[in-house]
Amino acid sequence: MPLTDTRLRALKPKDKPYKVTDERGLYVEVTPTGSKLWRFRYRIGGAQKKLCIGSYPDISLKQARDAAYEARRAVASGGDPAFEKRKRKIRAEFLSAQTFEAVAREYIEQMMVQNGRADGTIVKANYFLDKLAPAIGNRPIHEIEPFEVLAPLKRLEATGKHETAKKCRSFAGRVFRYGVATTRCKSDPTSMLKGALVTPRAKHYAAILEPTELGGLLRAIDDFTGYMVTKLALQIAPHVFVRPGELRHAEWHEIDLVDGVWKIPAGKMKARRAHAVPLSKQVRGYLTDLAEMLGREGYVFPSARSSKRPMSENTLNAAFRRMGYSKEEVTAHGLRATASTFLNESGLWNPDAIERALAHGDSNVVRGIYHRGKHWDERVRMAQWWSDY
C-alpha cells in the first residue's frame, strides 16, 4: 500500500532499523533514533543498488516520489543515479576547497615560478594577491561573481591607485582563466569588468635628457657619502642601463671581468630571455673595487642588513632623494631612457643595437641564448663609447 503523510507521521522507532515501502522501489527506513530516511532501490546489470534521497519531513512524500521518478528515468537511460550523486558530492567538496587564494597561489607557483618568470614579476603577483585576498581570497573560485571582484578594485581606485586596480584586475583574470583550464571554475568574471575602472594615464619614468644635467647627476653620484655599495651601484647604473631589478639581483657568478660581459639568466629578465651586457673598462673598474670590498660570492650589491639578500628595490631611488633629486627629476629606471636618448641622438649607432642593449627587440630566442650574435661587436664598442662619454 502506498505511503501517506498520516502513515509516515505514525511510524515509530524500534530496536532495529526497519523499512516501509511506498511504490516502485521507493521506501522509507526508520532508524532506532526515530529518523525516517528516504531510499530508492534499483538494479543495474542484475546488481541491486540504493540511492539515498534524504530524510522525512525535510524531504516530503511528493518530493521523494519525484526524486524516485527522476532516478528511474536515469536508470532507463543507462545511468546510475547513486554514482552520479557521489560524483556531484565529490565535486562539490573539491570545489569548496578551491578558494581564489589557493588557486592563485598554485597559479603563481605552477605558471610563474616554475616557468622561470622574473623575481620582480613574481613579487608583484603576490602583491596583487595580497590586495585581493581580504575580499575574495576565501571564496570558492567557482562561486565568485563580478561584483565581488569589482568591490576591492573600486576601493583601490578610491585611494588614487588606478594603475594598481587595473593590474589587480588583470592578475585576477589570469587566475580565473587558469581556474577554467584546470576545471575549478567555468568562466572569468573579470571579463565583464572591462570599462568599469578608470583608465590610468600613462606615466613615463623621470629621466635626465640634457648633457649638462647628466653631468651634474654624475658629479652628485661621485660625491655621495652613503653606504659604499649603494654608491658603487649608483656609479655603475648609468653605464649599463639595465632595469633596476636586474641590477640589484646581479650575482658574481654571472659576471666575467676578463671577457667583460655580464650574463643575465632568463629568469631575471622581464621578457624571460637571457641577456648579455658588455662591460666597459669603467664598469669593470667599479666591479673590481666591489670585489675587493666584499669578495666574489653571492650578490654583487647585497643588502646592508644581510649578504644573503640583494639591496632593496627602493635603495637607488632613495639615494637620489638624499642627493636632492625629486622623483619628477630622476629615477633609477629613467637611466635607461637617458642612455637610449643620448645614444640615438648621437647618430653613431644602429637603432637595433640600442634596442638590443636595452633588452628590447624580437622574441626569437633561437638567435642566441645571450643575444651575443647580431650587433654584439657594435654593442661592445657602444658600451665603451657611452662610458667614455
CB 107 within 8 A of CB 132: no
Rounded CA gap, 265 and 279, in Å?
16
Backbone angles phi, psi at 106, to 5 degrees: -65, -40
Q: In what order do the strands lie in the sheet with 261-264?
A: 255-256, 261-264, 275-278
CB 71 within 8 A of CB 42: yes
Catalytic residue among 270, 272, 367, 381: 270
Rounded CA gap, 146 and 353, in Å?
45
Place of cell 627629476: 329
Alpha-carbon torsion (157, 162, 164, 168), positive or negative = positive
Q: Is 263 a catalytic residue?
A: no
Catalytic residue among 142, 169, 275, 336: 336
SS3 category, 176: helix
Nearest to 219 by CA among 205, 240, 238: 238
Rounded CA gap, 57 and 146, in Å?
37
Rounded CA gap, 287 and 10, in Å?
92
CB 113 within 8 A of CB 122: yes
Q: Is 333 a catalytic residue?
A: yes
Catalytic residue among 107, 299, 325, 370: 370
CB 13 within 8 A of CB 34: yes
Catalytic residue among 243, 356, 371, 372: 243
Catalytic residue among 239, 333, 356, 371: 333
Q: Is 243 a catalytic residue?
A: yes
The 10 Å Cβ neighbour count of residue 311 is: 22
Q: Is 370 a catalytic residue?
A: yes
Place of cell 542484475: 46
Residues annotated catalytic, as ranges: 243, 270, 333, 336, 360, 370
